[in-house]
């Protein structure tokens, strides 16, 4: 179903006897938008964060809202309301229709959008009262929302699929373990640095992928320096395990991270940019890291982090954090505002 959505194909969500045709605003084409309007009147589903960015938080409750798209509005207008085009249109949506509180079916559709790292905005058409026989002839994927909700809530079972030795700059004795979840999500990696005693309190870092920082040496964040400093700290201190989680951009994906960067260039901070796009402050799931550690037989750790949320998440997973090891590196003139925002709004300890 997620693959169909990324391709721009509508899918059908079913809640009891109710059926809804849903499509991602981001990947919807003009031709498919017209085809959806011919089936029924389209409705736009947005997140609570996007609603707040549009200035309608006073009437907003719950995690999502929806309203009927006004007659005559094209896909370009919908994309602007959804936040897809940067700050284009900011402050010009005061005349939006009064929103309705999202139901489970709307929230499920938003969850599906987030799993494929798309802008969390959905165009939908109610199919109740339509001839479902003729609708089924379209060959669209259909899923009951209870199954979709179960899949969205599950972290997935992480299973090791391969492993090999890898000498590195930080330590000649190194090994990479690749883990693959059973829910179709991305693979994650556990890199053993040196020769740590896995039966004791193991030095560990959960590091979320950052293509711009880890690979390109970006000065806009401290991710690259943190990665390298953590590996050096492990190598010089008896070894450790680096759990590399493929959760780019705090879990919103690289495309949305670049959108957030553009919004930051226009004056928003990193949290405000995420909210403008419809995301939460942080969309990452650190339960994955806890599962990988337990899969490796690691239950007690010294965690290299400035983020208390990682400590809390791992503790909830049954991994005992015996010590939080600070990692204060990578400050630059270009990331000073980013780092202060992490402290003031995200609770990081710097």
Instruction: Answer whether 72's CB lies under 8 Å from 55's CB.
Output: no
**Bridge-partner residues for 20, per DSSP?**
13, 126
Q: One of 175, 250, 282, 302 is an active-site residue; which one?
A: 282
Query: How far is the C-alpha of 96 from the C-alpha of 131, rounded, in Å?
Result: 31
Q: 3-state SS of 139-190?
A: CCCEEEHHHHHHHHHCCCCEEEEEEEECCCCCCCCEEEEEEEECCCCCCEEE
**162 to 188, 196, 286, 331: CA distances (angstroms):** 11, 20, 22, 36
Look at residues 107, 144, 245 and name the one whose alpha carbon lies nearest to residue 185.
245
The SS3 of residue 116 is coil
Residue 282: active-site member? yes
| C-alpha span between 320 and 220 (Å, rounded) | 32
Burial of 329 (0-12, 13-18, 19+ CB in 10 A): middle
Within 8 A by CB and 6+ apart from 138, the residues are none
Structure tokens at 177: 């373990």
Of 288, 305, 181, residue with least CA distance to 240: 305
Whether 6 is a known active-site residue: answer: no
Please answer whether residues 149 and 13 qualify as being in contact, where contact means their C-beta atoms are separated by less than 8 angstroms. Answer: no
* Catalytic hit among 48, 80, 284, 302: 284
Residue 300: strand, helix, or coil: strand
- Where in the sequence numbering do the catalytic residues fall? 282, 284
């Amino acid at each position: 179903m997620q693959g169909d959505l990324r391709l721009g194909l509508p899918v059908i969500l079913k809640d009891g006897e109710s059926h809804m045709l849903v499509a991602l605003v981001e990947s919807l084409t003009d031709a498919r938008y017209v085809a959806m309007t011919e089936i029924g009147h389209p409705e736009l589903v947005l997140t609570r964060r996007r609603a707040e960015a549009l200035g309608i938080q006073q009437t907003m409750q719950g995690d999502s809202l929806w309203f009927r798209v006004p007659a005559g509005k094209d896909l370009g207008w919908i994309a602007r309301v959804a936040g897809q085009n940067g700050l284009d249109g900011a402050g010009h949506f005061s005349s939006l229709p009064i929103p309705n509180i999202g139901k489970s079916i709307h929230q499920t559709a938003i969850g599906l959008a987030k799993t494929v790292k798309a802008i969390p905005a959905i165009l939908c058409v109610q199919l109740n009262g339509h001839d479902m026989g003729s609708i089924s002839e379209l060959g669209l994927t259909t899923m009951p929302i209870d199954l979709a909700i179960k899949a969205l809530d599950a972290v997935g079972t992480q299973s090791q699929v391969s492993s090999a030795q890898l000498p590195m700059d930080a330590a000649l004795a190194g090994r990479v373990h690749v883990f693959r979840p059973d829910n179709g999500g991305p693979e994650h990696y556990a890199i053993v640095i040196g020769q740590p005693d896995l039966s004791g309190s193991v030095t560990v870092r959960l590091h979320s992928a950052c293509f711009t920082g880890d690979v390109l040496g970006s000065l806009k964040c401290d991710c690259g320096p943190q990665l390298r400093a953590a590996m050096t700290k492990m190598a010089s201190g008896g070894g450790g395990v680096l759990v590399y989680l493929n959760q780019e951009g705090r879990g919103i994906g690289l495309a949305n991270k670049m959108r957030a960067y553009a919004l930051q260039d226009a004056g928003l901070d990193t949290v405000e940019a995420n909210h403008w796009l419809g995301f939460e402050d942080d969309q990452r799931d650190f339960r994955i890291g806890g599962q990988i550690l337990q899969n490796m037989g690691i239950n007690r750790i010294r965690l290299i982090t400035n983020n208390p949320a990682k400590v809390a998440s791992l503790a909830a997973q049954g991994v005992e954090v015996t010590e939080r090891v600070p990692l204060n590196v990578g400050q630059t003139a270009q990331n000073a505002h980013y780092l202060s925002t992490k402290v003031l709004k995200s609770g990081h300890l710097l």
